Structure 1
Amino acid sequence: MPARSKAQQMAAGAALAAKRGEIPKSALKGASRSMLESMSERQLAEFAGTKRKGKPEHAAKS
């Protein structure tokens, strides 16, 4: 499933970096912290690898 916004993609990238040990988990907050706990590394990589072109800054609440 691709990211729906730039913010979601960036949060997934931060969570992925923490999961890989590149940044400390304590540096995460908000959506990236919950993504770290609830998603696998593969899912995070898929979200973080989404193309940004045409994505809104923030996803509309549904």
Structure 2
Amino acid sequence: MPAKSAAQQKAAGAALSAKRGDTPKGRLKGASKSMLSMSEAELERMASTPRKGKPEHVRN
């Protein structure tokens, strides 16, 4: 599932970093903290989404 906004893509990147052990999990907040339950493959797909043309935030 690709990211729908730049903020979602950034949060996925932060969660992926924590999942791989590069960043302590305790430093995560908000959306990135809730994304830890996703698989590494799902996070990789979201984090690798190009930001060009994506809005910064999307209202649901």
TM-score bucket (shorter structure): over 0.9
> 1:19 matched to which residue of 2?
19
Q: Runs of 5+ in structure 2 lacking a partner?
A: none
TM-score by length of 1: 0.94
Q: Deviations over 1:8-35 (max 9, x none)?
A: 0000000000000000000001000000
Q: Runs of 5+ in structure 1 lacking a partner?
A: none
> 1:59 matched to which residue of 2?
58
Q: Figure out how many residues of one structure are paired with residues of the other and give that number.
A: 60
Identity of matched residues, %: 68
Please give the root-mean-square deviation of Cα atoms over the aligned residues, in Å. Answer: 0.5
Shift of 1:60: 2.0
- What amino acid is the match of 1:13? G
Shift of 1:59: 1.1
